[in-house]
Every structure is written in C-alpha cells, then in structure tokens.
Structure 1
Amino acid sequence: MPPPLRLSAATVQEALDRADARHWTRNPPRSPRARLAFLLRQAGGDQTALATRLDVPVRDLDSLRTVRRPSEEDPVQQAVERDIIRLWQPRVRHRAHTTILHNNGQMMVSFRAWLGFTAAAGSSDDPRLRFLTLSLQAPYIERLFAARHRNASEDELRRILSDTLGACYFHRTRPAHTAETVTLDRIDYLEFYY
C-alpha cells in the first residue's frame, strides 16, 4: 500500500494539484499495477508516450507490474504519483475551483522559498529565505486556476504566484502603482489550502 498522500510540493503545479486532492470524491488507484493501468488509459494505451510524459525509461514502467511494496523514494513511483494526482477527477477539480471563485472563496498559501525584491531603482539584496502563510486575493486565485486548467508552464505559474505575493504581502503598506516586483526563486516547500 502506498504511503499517505503528501500535501506539500516544490513546484506551483504540483502544489495546486495536491490541494485539489482534498476535494476528491473517490480515492485514486492505490496499487502500482492499478495506477499504471489508469495512466495508460489516459495515454491512450501508448506506453512510450506515458514514459516520455513521466520522463522515465519504458523498462521502469514495466517493472511497476511486479512491484509489491513501492518505495516512497523511487523516482518512478514519485513520477507516477504526481501524474495520478494531476489527472484524477478533473471534473471534481473544475467544480471545486468554480465554487471557490463564485463564493468569493479564500486561498491560503504556506511556503518556504527564496524571495527577491526589485524596484525601479534596482534590486534590494540577494533573495532571502522566507517562511510565510498568506491569504490570497480573488483575482490572483482566478489567474492561478485558469493557468493550471490550460496546463501553463511552471515558469508562468511562478510569475503569477510572484505577482500575487507582491500584491498580498509586500504592497500592503505601499502604493499599488509602484514599479516594485517580487521574484520567487527556489521553492523549498509550498502548500495551498482551499
């Protein structure tokens, strides 16, 4: 049996997907064989395409058919888990996002990452490690959800989250029209709550 689902991540994409897992109405497949079967159905039965998407060798996917106790540290198992979480119950995910947006829902983000801060006059110092928990504002929640629905790149999601952090944290005591920007560098830990 696989270990309990981790809710934090090191990428914005994965953190959003893991937050969506709280809204599932059914659990995803648990055994390595059942997970592989689900992912192969999503890939149209093309094992080579699945291996390419997961960025693992095809022979490593074959080994999933015989694994009894998957190791949490195995990169193939981690790739499979990330893809299961990304693909499981897409309608439930969209419905949860729509409900949150229509009810002026809140999104909390908790993270530990290196943040840089630049202004028109130049950069402050090198990025600093910060551990913050913030409530995000509605327009940014919508931007994050819309970008995730169209499978935006991690770079684009980080830019949206950086803009969000700038608006929700750094600009609380500054005029909104200033040319300051926040850059989100290395993410050590990231978790969304909604």
Structure 2
Amino acid sequence: MSLRLSASTVQEALDRADSRHWTRHPPRSPRARLAYLFKQNRHDIPALAHRLQTTTRDLEALSTTAPPPKDHPLYNRLEREVIRLWQPRVRRRAHDAILAHNGQMMLSFRAWLGFTAAAGSSDDPRLRFLTLSLTTPYPQRLFTARHNDAPEEDLHAILSDALGACYFHRDRPTLTGESVRLQRIDYLEFYY
C-alpha cells in the first residue's frame, strides 16, 4: 500500500481512513493483489476487468508476465480495489465502535464549495481549507452508504449536507433554501 493517506474522492478517503484499523497488511505485489481480487470476484474475470477499467486480456497477461510499473494506471487501480475490499469485518467493527461513542469523526479537506441561500447562489465556488468534526447522523450515513457501495455522487451529497450542518449552520438552524454544494475536492482526509 502506498503511504498516501489523503484522497480526492469521498470513497477513497473513507477507505484510506479505514486502513488505519487493519490488523494485517494487504497484498503488496501486483500478482498477489490480482490473485486476491480474483478470489474476491469468484474468478469472474470479465467483471473484474470492467471494475478495473481494463480488458480481460490485460488481466490474464498480468498474471503471467512482468507487473506493470508503479506509474501505470492499472497498478494504481489494483491497489485502489484491494484497499476498497480489504478486511471488511475489521472495517465494520471500527465503524460500529465509532458510532457507539457519539459517532464523531474529524475531516480535513481543501475543496471548492458553492452556496445557495435566499438571496441566490454563488456563481463562483469558493476554495476552502477546513478541519472540522462531523457529528451524528453524518458519520452513520457515510458508513452506511460506503457499506452499500453507493456511487460517489451519493457520498458527495451526504458530505455536502454534513458540511452545511456541521460548519455553516452549527450555531443556528438551517433556513429553507440554504444549502452547500461540494463542487470539487482537491484534498480530503478522514480521521477516526
């Protein structure tokens, strides 16, 4: 696994935060990662090729020939998919423990945010660098969506709601028509 713990997607940031709770290291070599993924996908090579955005021929060649270089997109996709699937029971136990203790998680991010209010919306999203605590029910919503393999758009929407409630509206109730939109993520990291 690479040492990089930040991400540019919500799903990857959650998976990288979960990696801090692992009890064993995931496979490190491309062949070992591929063997693990074959096993996880019940040796359904076409489905795995689709998931990794490659062809079945490339996967079969990878299992018999030299591994791709570290800067190759397939190398990164193999690592990403292993991180997504590694130790699901450990991941769930960590999430359950967090939710049992007030369900708080820290979030550090740099992203462009858009705002909508009664007076209208911001035409130009603003770059923000924030570190804040997400409170109940948002960690639970993120974990549930992650366990159900929700698409990135759904995770973005949950995180946008959380930012609006936990940062912009923390001292007052949300007014009708006010919302925060997470436009683009540059850097995102969860701590729990």
Q: TM-score, normalised by structure 2?
A: 0.93
What SS does the aligned partner of 1:40 have? helix
Map of 2:66 onto structure 1: 67
Query: Structure 1 CA distance, aligned partners of 2:57 and 2:7?
Result: 27
RMSD, matched Cα: 1.6
Map of 1:36 onto structure 2: 34
What SS does the aligned partner of 1:82 have? helix
User: 2:110 is matched with which residue: 109, 112, 137?
Assistant: 112
Asked whether the equivalents of residues 109 and 134 of structure 1 are also in contact (C-alpha less than 8 Å), the reply is yes
Query: Structure 1 CA distance, aligned partners of 2:9 and 2:84?
Result: 13
Map of 1:26 onto structure 2: 24
Once the two structures are superposed, the pairs formed by residues 1-194 of structure 1 within 5 Å of their partners are 4-65=2-63, 66-67=65-66, 70-194=68-192
Query: Structure 2 CA distance, aligned partners of 1:174 and 1:71?
Result: 52
Asked whether the equivalents of residues 103 and 137 of structure 2 are also in contact (C-alpha less than 8 Å), the reply is no
- For residues 103-151 of structure 1, the C-alpha deviation after alignment (integer angstroms, 9 at most, x for no partner) is 1142111111110010133103411111111111121011100111111
1:162 Cα offset (Å):
0.1
Query: Structure 2 CA distance, aligned partners of 1:13 and 1:113?
Result: 15
> Size of the alignment, in residue pairs?
191
Q: Which has the larger displacement, 120-129 or 154-163?
A: 120-129
Query: Structure 2 CA distance, aligned partners of 1:33 and 1:144?
Result: 32
- For residues 59-80 of structure 1, the C-alpha deviation after alignment (integer angstroms, 9 at most, x for no partner) is 3323433335x53321101111
Identity value in percent = 69
1:172 Cα offset (Å):
2.6
1:178 Cα offset (Å):
4.1
Query: Structure 1 CA distance, aligned partners of 2:44 and 2:151?
Result: 24
Asked whether the equivalents of residues 32 and 67 of structure 1 are also in contact (C-alpha less than 8 Å), the reply is no
Letter in 2 for 1:102: A
Query: Structure 1 CA distance, aligned partners of 2:99 and 2:28?
Result: 31
What SS does the aligned partner of 2:137 have? helix
1:46 Cα offset (Å):
1.7
What 5-or-longer segments of structure 2 have no aligned partner?
none
Letter in 2 for 1:67: A
